[in-house]
Amino acid sequence: MSAKVPLTFMPEGKMVQVRAGISVLEAARRSGVPIRTRCDGKAACLMCKVTTDGQGLSTIQPMEQRKLAGLDAEGIRLACQAKVCGPAIVCVPEDPLRAAVRKQLERQREEPLW
């Protein structure tokens, strides 16, 4: 049986205990944290990018490195490939649709009604 380790999802600050060795994507799913994906964890869509300081995650493997090549990939990992090994913090980017809706609502709040 694997030990449990703390994983924190930012910017929510949601901290969960997860079994060491599972992927960040799987941990997010089990914790109700939405991470976009189209390939269901096969390292094909590159939609599951998260940022991290790298601590507490598995070392980047050649396939993930190839997938991220050409991107400004400093601190970026694929949530489907990075495994949780120890206490870790990952930052999940806001869903683009949700961000657009939030910005529109903020604009409406700032504009006077008449």
Alpha-carbon span 106 to 108, nearest angstrom: 5
Give the residue, chosen from 37, 52, 90, 92, that forms a contact with ligand FES under the rule CB under 6 A. 37
User: Do residues 81 and 63 make contact, with C-beta atoms less than 8 angstroms apart?
Assistant: yes
DSSP at 95? P
Identify which of residues 25 and 105 has a Cβ nearer to ligand FES in the complex.
25
Preceding amide of 34 cis, omega within 30: no
Q: According to the binding rule CB under 6 A, does residue 60 interact with ligand FES?
A: no
Give the residue, chosen from 20, 22, 45, 73, that forms a contact with ligand FES under the rule CB under 6 A. 45
The residue ranges that bind ligand FES (CB under 6 A) are: 25, 37, 39, 41, 43-48, 78, 80
